[in-house]
Amino acid sequence: MLVLGIESSCDETGVALVDGGGTDVPRLLSHALHSQVEMHADYGGVVPELASRDHIRRVLPLATQVLSGAHRSLADVDVVAFTRGPGLAGALLVGAGVACALGAALDRPVLGVHHLEGHLLSPFLSADPPVFPFVALLVSGGHTQLMRVDGVGRYELLGETIDDAAGEAFDKSAKLLGLGYPGGPALSRLAQSGDATAFRLPRPLLHSGDLDFSYAGLKTAVMTQARKLGDALHERTADLAASTEAAIVEVLVRKSLAALDATGLKRLVVAGGVGANRVLRAQLDAACTRRGARVHYPELHLCTDNGAMIALAAAMRMQARVQTASKAYAFDVMPRWPLAQVSPDSACAG
């Protein structure tokens, strides 16, 4: 069973082809990705209308590239999957519209996928895939959540951010430090030359006794410290960047370990763009090794939004028989869609 996956939830257009036949973990045959970072950089953030228009331009050429790379044709595709939500409404509509149009033209079923489920399952495409059950830390630009995962479609929310996500804390702090867009990777690169102990920044909700997160207060503390430094900020930017990264990462690590303790599980999956952060990976690896737990990550090139995770999630949902693809092409999208509310019903129907 060949699944063509289309991701268009925000500022990256991703297309991939996955072989989901049999009972084995689906296998990635080919994928292609176009990032809109350069286009949005002049605006300091994502412009939704521009994002949608760029998805329209990119998705079909990327699909052609993917099929060529896998030495397959459109006629070989069995199912077309797309990101149904959450994300930017206009951007989601592009992927959904193209997927359902392809499905109708080819007389193939389509399947809508939850964007975060794609991230959550993406480590199954890695060289060291996890096994169920596990705790998942979903950490990206717009989401920070801890989930208990007992199987495909079996997700229990353990904790989430009550304001800014970790990725937002990286990006907003970077902007305060004058690092431009996209800020998170720039802050992390600069932090490598800084002193992470130079500034004692707050760790919100670190001792709250629950598994929720909060990063708005950290952003405010970074802004306050930057103002205190004044003209001396340019001499201490690396130190403040390193201290900011240390604060974000410490909370993520401590809460993840607390989630393992609360569930009694010994396996942690980290997914989403922030999951590529080298400091986070190093600290989680060390902490999990000390307590005899395993930690799994997606391959680095699959940490950001991509079509591979969408095709994978669709294939795994069909393998687990929690969802079937449908030829009902009257699609809708869900810009706001909690992962814990993922329905087993066909996601292309309205």
Q: Which amino acid is at 72?
A: R
Q: Which helix (H) or strand (E) holds 5?
A: strand 2-7
**Domain annotation covers residue 109:** yes
Q: Are residues 270 and 141 in the same domain?
A: yes
Q: What's the rounded mean pLDDT across residues 215-242?
A: 96
Domain closes at, from 261, 281, 297:
297
**Domain annotation covers residue 272:** yes
**Token pair 């495909």: residue:** 152
| Per-residue pLDDT, 171 | 93
| Per-residue pLDDT, 346 | 40
Look at 17-21, 139-143, 156-160, 279-283 and tell me which has the smallest mean pLDDT: 139-143
Residues shown for the chain: 350
| Per-residue pLDDT, 350 | 37
Give phi and psi for 243, each to the nearest 5.
-65, -35
Closest by CA to 261, choosing from 297, 215, 292, is 292
Q: Are residues 104 and 181 in the same domain?
A: no
Q: Are residues 160 and 256 in the same domain?
A: yes
Query: Do residues 326 and 346 touch, judged by C-beta distance below 8 A?
Result: yes
- Give per-residue burial for 325-347: e unless 16+ CB within 10 Å, then b: bbeebebebbeebebeebeeebb
Q: Are residues 101 and 10 in the same domain?
A: yes
**Domain annotation covers residue 347:** no
| Per-residue pLDDT, 330 | 84
Q: Where does the pLDDT of residue 345 fall: very low under 50, low under 70, confident under 90, or very high at 90 and above? A: low
pLDDT digit string (tens) for 36-54? 999 998 898 899 999 999 9
Q: What's the rounded mean pLDDT across residues 218-236?
A: 96
pLDDT-above-70 percentage for the chain = 98
Helix, strand, or coil (residue 134): strand
Q: Is 50 exposed, middle or buried (0-12, 13-18, 19+ CB in 10 A)?
A: middle
pLDDT digit string (tens) for 115-170? 999 999 999 999 999 999 999 999 987 899 999 999 999 999 999 999 999 999 99
Q: Are residues 76 and 144 in the same domain?
A: no
pLDDT-above-90 percentage for the chain = 90
Q: Are residues 116 and 137 in the same domain?
A: no
Q: Is the pLDDT of residue 293 over 50?
A: yes
**Domain annotation covers residue 69:** yes
**Token pair 């990101």: residue:** 83
pLDDT digit string (tens) for 62-102? 999 999 999 999 999 999 999 999 999 999 999 999 999 99
Q: Is the pLDDT of residue 205 over 80?
A: yes
Domain closes at, from 297, 316, 333:
297
Query: Do residues 201 and 225 touch, judged by C-beta distance below 8 A?
Result: yes
Q: Which helix (H) or strand (E) holds 19?
A: strand 12-19
Mean pLDDT (the chain, rounded): 94
Domain closes at, from 297, 315, 331:
297
Look at 89-93, 169-173, 293-297, 336-340 and tell me which has the smallest mean pLDDT: 336-340
What residue numbers bound the domain in which 159 lies?
Answer: 132-297
Q: Is the pLDDT of residue 349 over 70?
A: no
| Per-residue pLDDT, 348 | 42
**Domain annotation covers residue 219:** yes
Q: Are residues 150 and 166 in the same domain?
A: yes
Q: Is the pLDDT of residue 21 over 80?
A: no
Q: Are residues 212 and 198 in the same domain?
A: yes
Q: Are residues 329 and 249 in the same domain?
A: no
**Domain annotation covers residue 126:** no
Q: Are residues 308 and 211 in the same domain?
A: no
**Token pair 């809508």: residue:** 112
| Per-residue pLDDT, 343 | 58
Total domain count, the chain: 2
**The domain spanning residue 197 has which CATH number?**
3.30.420.40
Q: Are residues 192 and 221 in the same domain?
A: yes
Instruction: Respond yes or no on whether the N-terminal peptide bond of residue 86 is cis (omega within 30° of 0).
Output: yes
pLDDT digit string (tens) for 231-270? 999 999 999 999 999 999 999 999 999 999 999 999 999 9
**Domain annotation covers residue 99:** yes
The rounded distance, in Å, linking the Cα atoms of 78 and 248 is 42
| Per-residue pLDDT, 180 | 81
Q: Are residues 144 and 292 in the same domain?
A: yes
| Bridge partner residues of 270 (DSSP) | 137
